[in-house]
């Protein structure tokens, strides 16, 4: 399940539209905070991670075991780029309270891949998610700028600033009140290469991709999103969805279809940490 390729092949439609948000790089980060693993409680077992890949590269996780029960992880990207503050101030909503409310109502555990800029804009929401045992918070970078030069038109982070961008997000989470963010990282746009994997090795994160693309970014047909997910899910699947109201307006309605249907098929919803632990023989 560790895949080291030049480029991730999964599509992430959200990245293309975010290119219009600006082309400047993220502001220079302060001195990096401690890396992700230190965020785990000292008295608890550390969250499961994958062993480093060949040559010690950051490992990449795409899905859990196919033959260890019908489990599926719904993951939600809480995207906000470093330069979207003016748009938020003008009233654009990058959060989605009704989606989170639906997940709680349906009793669905989930992993939220959050950008540091999102946590700064919505600290109360970030703190609420971070304190709810049904959810786990993972890292989606501070800036939501790409870690490769050509990623659906997103502006990019220079190689020498990649680690600082990741660790700046963890700092933003702690300032918002998220005490125990997970040592998992999702590349903006899903784009990475060997250089990016090399730069993040020191952070200790496991990169988390997906094997089911929901197609919810900028979708207007909730039923079509639900069908795409339902057609793609297999045991151990990781589904990528979005927790950004303006960019993914039908996700909540799609989730209200996806969850009961998958349960009727015998699936159990889990967080990414459980899938990784199962692959490691820890669950």
Residue pLDDT, tens place only, 196-224 = 999 999 999 999 999 999 999 999 999 99
Give yes or no for residue 30 having a pLDDT over 70.
no
| SS3 at position 94 | coil
User: What pLDDT score was predicted for residue 126?
Assistant: 98
- Confidence band (pLDDT; 50, 70, 90) for 280? confident
User: What pLDDT score was predicted for residue 23?
Assistant: 35
Question: What class, spelled out in words, does domain 54-281 have in CATH?
Answer: alpha beta
Could you tell me which residue, 5 or 85, shows the higher pLDDT? 85
Give yes or no for residue 25 having a pLDDT over 50.
no
Rounded CA separation 25/23 (Å): 6
Rounded CA separation 221/199 (Å): 39
- Confidence band (pLDDT; 50, 70, 90) for 9? very low
Sorted by sequence, the CB contacts under 8 Å of residue 218 that are 6+ apart come out as 13, 14, 17, 247, 248
User: Do 2 and 55 form a contact (C-beta atoms < 8 A)?
Assistant: no
pTM for the structure as a whole? 0.86
User: What pLDDT score was predicted for residue 282?
Assistant: 57
User: Do 209 and 197 form a contact (C-beta atoms < 8 A)?
Assistant: no
User: What pLDDT score was predicted for residue 17?
Assistant: 42
User: What's the average model confidence in pLDDT over 177-190?
Assistant: 97
So where are the chain's domains? 54-281
């Amino acid at each position: 399940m560790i895949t080291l390729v030049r480029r991730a092949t999964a599509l992430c439609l959200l990245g293309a539209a975010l290119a219009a948000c600006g082309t400047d790089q993220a502001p220079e980060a302060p001195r990096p905070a401690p890396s992700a693993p230190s965020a785990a409680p000292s008295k608890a077992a550390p969250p499961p991670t994958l062993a480093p890949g060949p040559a010690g590269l950051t490992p990449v996780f795409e899905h859990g075991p196919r033959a260890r029960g019908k489990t599926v992880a719904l993951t939600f990207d809480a995207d906000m780029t470093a330069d979207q503050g003016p748009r938020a101030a003008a009233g654009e909503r990058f959060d989605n309270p009704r989606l989170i409310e639906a997940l709680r109502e349906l009793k669905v555990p989930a992993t939220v891949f959050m950008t540091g800029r999102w946590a700064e804009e919505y600290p109360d929401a970030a703190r609420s998610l971070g304190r709810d045992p049904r959810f786990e918070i993972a890292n989606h970078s501070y800036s939501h700028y790409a870690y490769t030069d050509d990623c659906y038109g997103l502006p990019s982070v220079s190689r020498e600033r990649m680690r600082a961008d990741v660790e700046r997000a963890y700092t933003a989470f702690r300032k918002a009140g998220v005490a125990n963010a997970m040592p998992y990282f999702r590349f903006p746009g899903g784009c990475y290469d060997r250089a990016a994997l090399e730069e993040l090795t020191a952070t200790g994160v496991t990169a988390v991709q997906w094997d089911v693309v929901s197609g919810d970014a900028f979708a207007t047909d909730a039923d079509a999103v639900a069908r795409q997910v339902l057609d793609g899910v297999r045991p151990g699947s990781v589904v990528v969805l979005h927790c950004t109201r303006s960019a993914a307006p039908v996700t909540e309605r799609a989730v209200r279809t996806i969850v009961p249907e998958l349960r009727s098929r015998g699936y159990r919803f889990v967080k990414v940490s459980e899938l990784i632990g199962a692959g490691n023989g820890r669950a």
